[in-house]
Amino acid sequence: MNDNRRPGQPPPLRRKRRVRATHAARTQLSRAADAARQLRGRPGPGDDPHSAMRGANPIVPPQSVARRALLALVAIMSFLACLTVAAVTLVGERADNWQRQIADEVTIQIRPSDTSPIDEAVARAVDIAAQTPGVRSATALSADDAARLLEPWLGSGFDRSELPVPLLIAVSVTAEADLAALARRLRDEVPGASLDDHGLWLERLAAMARITTFGGFFILALVMAATALCVVFATRGAMAGNRDVIEVLHFVGAEDSYVAGEFQRHFLILGLKGAGIGGLVAMVLFAVLGIFTGLQGPTPEEAQLRSLIGGVTIGLPGYIGTALTIMLIAVIIAATARLTVRRTLRDLD
Amino acid sequence: MIRFENVGLRYGLGPEVLRDVSFRIAPGSFQYVTGPSGAGKTSLLRLLFLSLRPTRGLVRIFDQDAATLTRDSVPHLRRRIGIVFQDFRLLDHMTTYENVALPLRVLGTSEAHYGRDVSELLEWVGLGDKMWVHPPVLSGGEKQRAAIARALITKPEILLADEPTGNVDPPLARRLLRLFIELNRLGTSVVIATHDLGLMDQHDARRLVLNHGRVDIYE
């Protein structure tokens, strides 16, 4: 009746059944309207109501959904979730960094031996290390360096000759270095020598990173579950408040999926807003923390701590993770609302 | 089109409000459902609208047994039925225009297609100047006319009306009756539940008279 298509333009994609039903309804209604005009003896209005229909009222009134409280709750949950994601990212990055640093260096330890002087053993060990493929450098720590390392435990005035203090050789290696072969040669050719490849530390760091990541995801799952539960209650409340709307929708032939879609739209918008607010606050917090931790004074202790832990900056992966968390929360909220509506309608039936 | 055979209905463990009700509604027919208050007129309409399931007996609507209908198939049948409620059931947060357009909106029809139809129908029921107001500011009669327009907008195969002229003045009641007659002439079956004898006298049609839950049919 009111076809705005240009000649040759294909009809809009729609289900066949719907097109047929709509067409039949339009045809019949046209006849009814014509008959009605004849009965009344006056023409139709001919005005175009479409401009007034733009921005039509939503079928489920937004005011009927618990907006402010739920928005605040979603924002808080989103903030916590983003914080967790950032913490996991941060710890993961630091653990990788530490592992890389530790794996780049091994230590040869030379214990004093009765069979040969320790200085000769050190020189021999440095030679062997230098000959090993994949070794960048091998530097023996002097006796004074070794004493300095022991100072925190033994004090500054101890007599080194009274204690069998081992000497250390710092060996910088690449990933291709055959550490097993180096350890074997040292054991065979240098009395009292042993190679420490920091494997124990690496294992512990990897375990710590795994535990932190697992804990982070567990907390994230709890936050998501709590959010979903809150949305379940909010959806049920919204449905109870819109019982008349749901009834009318059913009376005019709406399927459950249509009703669920109307509620889902509200909760998706609410979820995006709430999660966006929470995520944005979290991002601002990360940025501020990054600036403040970068501005700390250059005292030896602070420098040492910074070299160990680094600044509180989450980097690009952290920000991407935060953005994904925001979207995930919004999707979970919308899906939960949809499922709750469908389930509640089925139960009501 | 619709067939009732020995239909009984009770709410919970209460007494039967409908007993051994048997009748048929043919395509293109016109009938009144009448009887005293509490006789079961609204319950009968709710059975016809698949809003209730019978306690016993057979109800077939559009050749489908109401007892075996799945939840998913009910909306498709309801789209072929128009209903006007005694209490209107208009949505207060939507304009009169939006209320009337609701069944088409649910069907997924675009505004471009239904806009003119809706405004023409509203003009005809005398609500052309109330198109963009919300139901709370409409009078009882205006709400009634909006509810009728909403039931008619998809041009259903059968129209069920529960006391459609209960809140309108006699001239408008006559006009609405003429609309129902004209719709019937165009092929729509019409079932009007009323206890308005004056209305029934204006247009002679089949009467299903309910009394104490039983139905007597006067052709």
Q: Taking CB atoms and an 8 Å limit, are A18 and B102 in contact across chains?
A: no
Which chain A positions have a beta carbon within 8 Å of B179's beta carbon? 36, 39
Residue B146: its chain A contacts at CB < 8 A? none
- Tell me, what's the ipTM? 0.88
- The size of the A-B interface in CB pairs under 8 A is 144
Residue B72 touches chain A, beta carbons under 8 Å: yes
Cα of A26 to nearest chain B Cα, Å = 7
In tens digits, chain A (349 residues) has pLDDT values of 344 444 434 334 344 444 444 444 444 555 455 444 433 333 333 344 444 444 577 888 877 776 788 999 999 999 999 999 988 888 888 888 777 777 788 889 888 877 778 888 888 889 998 888 888 888 888 777 777 777 777 777 777 677 777 888 988 888 788 888 888 888 888 888 888 887 787 788 788 888 988 999 999 999 999 999 999 999 999 998 888 899 999 999 999 999 999 999 999 999 999 999 999 999 999 888 878 776 655 565 666 566 555 666 777 888 898 999 999 999 999 999 999 999 988 887 6
CB atoms within 10 A of CB B119: 26
Q: Measured between alpha carbons, how far is A195 from B8 in angstroms, rounded to an integer?
A: 93
pLDDT for the residue A300: 59
Residue contact A251–B91, C-beta within 8 A: no
Is-contact A47 A243, C-beta < 8 A? Answer: no
Domain ranges of chain A: 62-100+209-348, 112-191
Check if the beta carbon of residue A123 is closer than 8 Å to that of residue A139: no
Nearest residue on chain B to A64, judged by CA atoms? Answer: B93
Residue by residue, pLDDT tens for chain B (219 residues) are: 899 999 999 998 888 899 999 999 999 999 999 988 888 888 999 999 998 899 999 999 998 998 888 888 899 999 999 999 888 899 999 999 999 999 999 998 888 888 999 999 999 888 999 999 999 999 888 898 899 899 989 889 999 999 888 777 888 788 888 888 988 998 899 999 998 888 888 888 999 999 888 999 988
- Under DSSP, the state recorded for A66 is -
| Closest partner CB to A48 (pick from B93, B115, B123) | B115
> Residue A28's closest chain B neighbor by CA?
B155
In angstroms, rounded to a whole number, what is the distance separating the alpha carbons of residues A23 and B117?
Answer: 12
A23 touches chain B (CB under 8 A): no
Min distance A38 CA to chain B CA atoms (Å): 10
| B150–A252 C-beta distance less than 8 A | yes
Which chain A residue shows the shortest CA-CA distance from B72? A255
A204 at B interface, C-beta within 8 A: no
Task: Give the pLDDT score at B54.
Answer: 92
Hey, is the C-beta of A250 within 8 angstroms of any chain B C-beta?
yes
pLDDT of residue A43: 36
**B107, B150, B174: best to mutate for the A interface, most A CBs within 10 A:** B107
Any CB–CB contact under 8 A between A137 and chain B?
no
Among B75, B132, B152, the residue with its CB nearest the CB of A52 is B132
Do B182 and A249 make contact, defined as CB atoms within 8 angstroms? no
pLDDT, position A14: 40
Burial A284-298 (b: 16+ CB within 10 A, else e): eebeeebeebeeeee
* pLDDT number for residue A55: 57
Residues from chain B that touch A24, judged by Cβ atoms under 8 A, are 155
Does B78 contact A256 at a Cβ distance shorter than 8 Å?
A: no
3-state helix, strand, coil in chain A (%, to 5): 70, 5, 25
Nearest-angstrom CA–CA distance, B32 and B196: 10
Which residues in chain A have their CB less than 8 angstroms from residue B180's CB? none
Does A348 touch chain B if contact means CB atoms closer than 8 Å?
A: no
Q: At CA A27, angle to CA A23 and CA A32, rounded to 5?
A: 145
Crossing angle for the helix pair B96-107 and B140-152, to the nearest 10 degrees: 20
The CA distance from A336 to the nearest CA of chain B, in Å, is 21
Closest residue of A to B53, CA-based? A349
Contacts of A245 in chain B (CB under 8 A): 91
